[in-house]
Structure 1
Amino acid sequence: MKLSKINFNTITFKQIANILSIVCILISVVSCSTKKEQLIITNGAVKVDIITLDNNQLAYTITKENQIVLDTSLLGIVVNNRSLGSNSEIIKKEASTISTSFPLLGIKEKAIYNANQTNFTLKEEDGFTWNIEFNVSSEGVAYRYIVPGEGHQTVNTEITSFKLPNKTKVWYFERDSDWKLKSHAGEWLSTDISAMPTVSKMGPIQGLTLTCELPNGGYALIAESALFNYSGLRLKAIGNNTFKANFTEEETGFVVENQVTSAWRCILLADDLNALANNTMVAALNPAPDPSIFTNTSWIKPGKSVWHWWSGKYVNYKEEREMVEDAEALNFEYSMVDEGWERWDNKWKSVKELCDFAKTKDVGIFLWKHSKEINFPENDYAVMRHFLDSVKQVGAVGVKVDFMNGQSKSLIAFDEALLKNTAKRQLMVNFHGCQQSSGEYRTYPNEVTREGIRGLEVNHMKEGPLPASHNAALPFTRYVTGHADYTPIGFTEPGETTWAHQLGTLVAFYSPFNCIAENTQFLLKNESVQPAINFIKEVPSVWDETLVLPESKIGELAAIARRDKQDWYVGVLHAREQEKLIIDCSFLEEGDYTATIFTDDIGAKRINLEGLNKEANLRQWNTAVPFKKETQVVHKNSKIEITLAPKGGAAIQFKRN
């Protein structure tokens, strides 16, 4: 809490006492480590110790294979100005096992999750009881608070903290404006844990997620799961290698009706980058879909989409009709109609005509909408429901809702209301201007993508373009918790990257609704692109299996292999200087494959980008290294040697013979 913002003319003695109590608790994470009690939860090599410090504060530690993942970190929540966890007695412990599997549109066909779960009942001095649930699996540790009550309950803050070991390398997203914490669209950078309180010009508060390279090897990623009816978690670096829970509402807090159930606070664990990229804990901790809403999900169809924004932000009806024709020519399933359609003459009649035309081409239409125009909770979001009825009536298949610009509890409520109301109308959702995923796409599988990422559109903006290092970090940071609307392929404005790097993003990144940025006519007609046109048409948007190749290193090289049925694809994103890379094909099954290989054509004349895109701001990157294509027959014992240009990349398609 920030004492400078407190009005001492109105504050009560009880509130002052509570503030001082919280300050003392925060000091305790630095100064007090003596344990009074200890309870242990384990799952294989992962161990959680629940402890009570000498000052009666509840805390925990996490170790894996006897190595510290989290040092003494605090547990607790402040509800209705009562600090729970600062003087609590554990009176009951109920252990159970969790085993679940569910379809996953993303990195793999099915997620399988097994964990040991323990529910602790705690009692305060006045007899009030509440609960903390811990979930421990081979994929990580998660916990949440459950506080019973009736009527308005104010969550003032959480005492929750995360203390990392010395010399931990932390990956965080950075943006030099307040948009950093509004849209989570920052560049991924890294620093030592000790620098986190001062590393950002925007202050010590970071948005989730944080990927941590542990000093003794392995990775931890701090995230949250099942964010419903609560405010989104942020983390404030307070020194001593520690992050403390922080919320948009700050000391004002937020109101929850009746029982308070926090989102899960997750510490994902992985020995290597392959295990990190394949971690599905965040999705698994979300509730299963409501069968009364999702009686079937056949209407939720993954695919790629055309998008006019890259070549012209505002569109007219004629141009959108042409985009549908281009979607058909590219074998794409969707067309994303962005901002501007609401200014068309007789807009709903025009959109219906567009949707009817698109249906004849087997193309579905998504419509853009500003959130402020439908975010009215009155009468159970009547304005939203009326808009969605119109979207459904004209024949569109989904909506892109933009500019939530935050993660306060009221905005999280809006997100869920939108997901629920679209699901009832069998409409898909693309969230923009939003926070990162908390795995809500498991509960609401009609969420087919969300932004919460610094995507390719930044190349059009003054603060762009994206550096190659950002792209090489994304599979191990932002994408670990779920899909993202990066909008890949920007041949006409690739910044410092190469065309092969741009192709590689189609594999290295994933999104069930994969909105392709580049001008469709450029893709269809530019001679230099044509060798890759079949690859662009055929590459899937979701996968049956994912494998991170061992040469990968966060922020330097992302080499990702993904399987679609019997075929494999590899995407390579490179952020270093020129070097050779050997692709070991041992991930293939027995038999021969035809490998179509797109690599940096280092010896070729660089492509002149001037004039290719009227929207482009090329800056000093007005030329780009083209790709070259070759094919060869390979098998699981083959090795493919490729040369990567500075900031280059590669894309490979393995088709089973």
Structure 2
Amino acid sequence: MVTRSNPKEQGKMKKTIYGSTVILGILIMTWACNTVGEEKNKSQALSHGNIELSLFASTNGQLAFQIRKANKIVLDTSHLGILVGDKQLGKNAEVALLEQKEIKIKYPLNGTKSEASYSGNLYTYNVSETDGTQWNLEFQLSDEGVAYRYVVPGQGTQNVKGEESTFKLPSQTKVWYFERDSDWKLKSHAGEWLSADISEMPTISKMGPIQGLTLTCELPQGGYALVAEAALYNYSGMRLEAVGNNTFKANFEEGEGGFAVDGNVMTPWRCILLADNLNDLVNNTMVASLNPAPDPKLFPDTSWIKPGKSVWHWWSGKYVDFKEEHDMVDDAVALDFEYNMVDDGWEAWENKWEKVTKLCSYAKEKGVGIFVWKHSKEINFPENDYAVMGHFLDSVKQAGAVGVKVDFMNGQSKSLIAFDEMLLKKAAERQLMVNFHGCQQSSGEYRTYPNEVTREGIRGLEVNHMKEGPLPASHNAALPFTRYVTGHGDYTPLGFTEPGETSWAHQLGTLVAFYSPFNCLAENTQFLLNDKNVRPALDFIKAVPSVWDETVVLPESKIGELAGISRRKGNDWYIGVLSSGVEKELTIDCSFLKDGEYTAEIFSDDIKAKPINLDGLNKEANLRQWATAIPFKRETKTISSDSKITIDLAANGGAAIQFIKR
């Protein structure tokens, strides 16, 4: 518990906490205040393992906190507070600890591993303002990081005008952020992942100082911090404005006008994920774990939520007709895929619902599920409990489809977040899965609504078709450690016919390095089934799962340069390697394998082979100077846990390996 002090005491405390020779163990803070008892005059720093958090008032009286890990600062003095109506909460306030509670949960995941196990401590503080206003500040500390949120009680409508929340990182921190030279940057979050020193962040972007989440930070003392938010409901999505002094401040799409919240204001969790290495970062589940468990009334049964791979015509044909989609069902069967994603264009079919019903019926006979696309603006009408949305979803369900892809929300205002949640609720009521496009990154909603089987909020392979493409290999090599840390992404992997600067083995590697329960593959299905150069990898493409039981990051990985991701499904293991830059030699230690022998199918860059001529392979392609691609070669070896595999990586190359337990 922390109480308000006078300025002299604040100054003394600041010197004590931040003196260069002070090693923070257990911090005792004594605050002068005549209105509290002797017991309230003492406060301990919060701690969990080697993570310590100190809570205090900064020099201007605003509540603030600092995080240390292993006695080193990972987040320096950062402000806390929220602006509700005409009140700036958290300044010159008294704070008292109300409750401390241990959190231990386990729950199933469709993603990097089959089960998440999260434990930590929840601390609830009462904050008393000088005018008598009372509200709560909550912290969670765990081995995976630190999170906090504000809970402001109220009746009627409250207007949230912003937050005082800031995040001050150490000097010389390397920040990974996504960039796009257009206003689409903060609409769709489909930017290229780049890095810069923290000092450059206010001016690094032509689009201004505001960045979208998440931000992955390489700390100068080693290790990683990732800034994110969790449990984004009934609130506006947070962006971060670089305000100088190595600091980001919470920013919202609505600006100074703010947004209305009925009743109590409960913010999403503001998260600082912490990891000593990339393996711990990739396996961090704090964001999902801070979301509520699914409502058993809404999800009494989840057997209808089935992970799988999907065919997709858009990459090779864009606007489609009924016969093409009928043929795509047959191709899904030939590829052992579970779904067909029917994208924009089906609503122009004559007697569209009759045609869709016929398509769904045929697909169901073949064991294939149909997803259909919809523009959000055509169903985003809150009137009568989103009746238009409900009628559309009724039609989708009646036609026999199993899911919807809803596109072009183009923002993260509170009204759009409300739309997203309502879509998930109404889809769940009808046992329909949801694929979000044109949206912000994940904040773990898929735990509360497991029918969210993928979302965009990612710069995916479709950019290779666009004028601003193609994707550089460095972007792909950064994704597992940036965007994918907080949740699945609909990157739509595998583009042999337009791979940009990457090799074909790199493209195969994305099937493992990236993950999505609904994994929609980009490449032309007929090309996959019939091209002689692809044929050696066809069984691998068919077999690779879309969700995993376990994930291990290869220690040679480095953000933006090399992503080596090993994943297990059942008894079998897979590796995806994505390299950026010059040719490399990579030796893979197979000690992650269990006991016994495995048959390893290795797909690596065939550097000595004649490059593949890409001209004419895809009518939608804009090949630019990348008119050829390095093919892959296939090798088979017997491998055990004490084996090592050495592979040569081409410039911007990669590899994919399947280990089948013998």
User: TM-score normalized by structure 2?
Assistant: 0.94
Separation in 1, partners of 2:628, 2:61: 63
2:534 aligned residue: 529
- Aligned 8 A contact 1:36 1:51 in 2: no
Q: Determine whether 1:162 maps to 2:189.
A: no
Show the counterpart of 2:438: 433
The amino acid of 1:441's aligned partner reads: Y
**Deviation of residue 229 (structure 1)?**
0.1
Give, in whole Å, the separation in 2 of the partners of 1:81 and 1:625. 62
- Mapped partners of 2:294, 2:608: distance in 1: 53
SS at 1:573's partner residue?
A: strand
Q: Measure, in 1, the Cα distance between the counterparts of 2:355 and 2:255.
A: 45
- Residue of structure 2 in register with 1:492 after alignment: 497
Query: Quick one: which amino acid aligns to residue 50 of structure 1?
Result: L
Question: 2:187, 2:566 → 1: CA distance?
Answer: 33
Pairing partner for 2:453 from 408, 427, 448? 448
Partner-residue secondary structure (3-state), 1:560: strand
Is 1:42 aligned with 2:44?
A: no
Distance 2:657 2:58 in 1: 55
Matched, 1:171 2:176: yes
Q: What is the aligned partner in structure 1 of residue 592 from structure 2?
A: 587
Cα displacement (A) at 1:405: 0.2
Match 1:117 to one of 114, 122, 138: 122
Shift of 1:507: 0.2
Counterpart Cα distance in 1 of 2:30 and 2:627 = 64
Counterpart Cα distance in 2 of 1:478 and 1:245:
19
**Equivalent runs, 1:41-60 vs 2, <5 Å:** 41-60=46-65
Match status 1:68 vs 2:57: no
Instruction: Provide the C-alpha distance between the structure 2 equivalents of 1:389 and 1:33, rounded to a whole number of angstroms.
Output: 60
Query: 1:639-650 alignment to 2 at 5 Å?
Result: 639-650=644-655
Given that 2:91 and 2:129 are in contact with CA atoms closer than 8 Å, whether structure 1 keeps it comes out as no
1:149-298 matches, within 5 Å, as 149-298=154-303
Query: Residue 101 of structure 2 aligns with which residue?
Result: 96
Give me the whole-angstrom Cα distance separating, in 2, the residues matched to 1:366 and 1:56: 53
CA distance in 2, matches of 1:214, 1:514: 33
Deviations 1:353-390 (A, max 9, x none): 00000011100000000000000000000000000000
Q: Distance in 1 between matches of 2:83 and 2:113?
A: 39
Please state if 1:78 is matched with 2:91.
no
Asked if structure 1 preserves the Cα contact closer than 8 Å seen for 2:376 and 2:407, the reply is yes
2:507 to 495, 502, 506: 502
- State the Cα deviation string for residues 261-315 of structure 1 (Å, max 9, x = none): 0000000000000000000000000000000010010000000000000001100
> 1:543 maps to which residue?
548
Alignment check: 8 A CA contact 2:104 2:119 kept: yes
Q: Give TM-score, length-normalised by structure 1.
A: 0.95
The CA RMSD measured in Å over matched residues stands at: 1.1
Matched letter for residue 478 of structure 2: A
The residue matched to 1:442 in structure 2 has which SS? helix
Residues 531-551 of structure 1: per-residue CA shift (max 9 Å, x gap): 000000000000000000000
Aligned partners of 1:51 and 1:58 also within 8 Å: yes
Partner of 1:350: 355
Query: Does the CA-based 8 Å contact 1:401-1:431 persist in structure 2?
Result: yes
Equivalent position of 2:24 in the other structure: none
Inter-partner Cα distance in structure 2 for 1:61 and 1:142: 12
AA matched with 2:146: V
Question: By how many angstroms is 1:53 displaced?
Answer: 2.1
Of residues 126, 145, 149 in structure 1, which corresponds to 2:131? 126
1:601 counterpart = 2:606:
yes
CA contact (8 A) 2:503 2:629 kept: yes
Distance 1:408 1:308 in 2: 32
Residue 39 (structure 1) shift: 4.6
Q: Contact between 2:113 and 2:549, CA under 8 Å: does it hold in 1?
A: yes
Please name the residue that 2:412 is paired with.
407
Could you tell me which of 386, 392, 417 is aligned with 2:397?
392
Contact 1:306 1:336 in 2 (8 A): yes
Which residue of the other structure, out of 372, 377, 400, is the alignment partner of 2:377? 372
| Cα shift at 1:553 | 0.1
Q: Does the aligned pair in 2 maintain the 1:36–1:53 contact within 8 Å? A: no
1:579 Cα offset (Å): 1.3
Local SS of the residue matching 1:598: strand
Residue number in structure 1 paired with 2:39: none
Aligned partner of 2:465 in structure 1 is 460
1:503-518 pair list within 5 angstroms: 503-518=508-523
AA paired with 2:420?
Answer: D
Matched, 1:422 2:422: no
Q: Structure 1: how far apart are the matches of 2:527 and 2:337?
A: 15
2:638 equivalent in structure 1: 633
Partner of 1:298: helix, strand, or coil?
coil
Unaligned runs of 5+ in 1: 1-28
> Structure 1: which 4+ aligned runs deviate by more than 2 Å?
32-39
Shift of 1:445: 0.1
**Given that residues 505 and 573 in structure 1 are in contact (C-alpha distance below 8 angstroms), is that contact kept between their aligned partners in structure 2?**
yes
Structure 1 residue 454: Cα displacement: 0.2
Q: In the alignment, residue 429 of structure 1 is paired with which amino acid?
A: V
State, as a whole percentage, how many aligned pairs show the same letter: 70
Q: Match of 1:586, SS? A: coil
Cα distance in 1 for residues equivalent to 2:86 and 2:467: 44
1:33–1:53 contact (8 Å) kept in structure 2: no
CA distance in 1, matches of 2:370, 2:427: 14
1:504-559 deviation per Cα after TM superposition (whole angstroms, max 9, x unaligned): 00000000000000000000000000000000000000000000000000000000
SS at match of 2:360: helix
The structural deviation recorded for 1:92 is 3.6
Contact preservation (8 Å) 2:97, 2:123 = no
* Structure 2 residue 655 is matched with structure 1 residue 656: no
CA distance in 2, matches of 1:122, 1:311: 58
Q: Deviation digits for residues 322-368 of structure 1, max 9, x if unmatched?
A: 00000000000000000000000000000000000001110000000
CA displacement, residues 45-72 of structure 1 (integer Å, 9 cap, x when unaligned): 0011001123321000000000100000
**Partners of 2:537 and 2:360 in 1: how far apart?**
29
Amino acid at match of 1:299: W
CA-to-partner distance for each residue in 1:124-159, whole Å, 9 max, x for gaps? 112110001000000000000000000110000000
Find the residue that maps to 2:45 and give its secondary structure.
strand
2:148 corresponds to: 143
Q: Which residue is 1:314 aligned to? A: 319
Q: CA deviation at 1:33?
A: 7.8
Match of 1:575 among 577, 580, 585: 580
Match of 1:108 among 104, 113, 116: 113
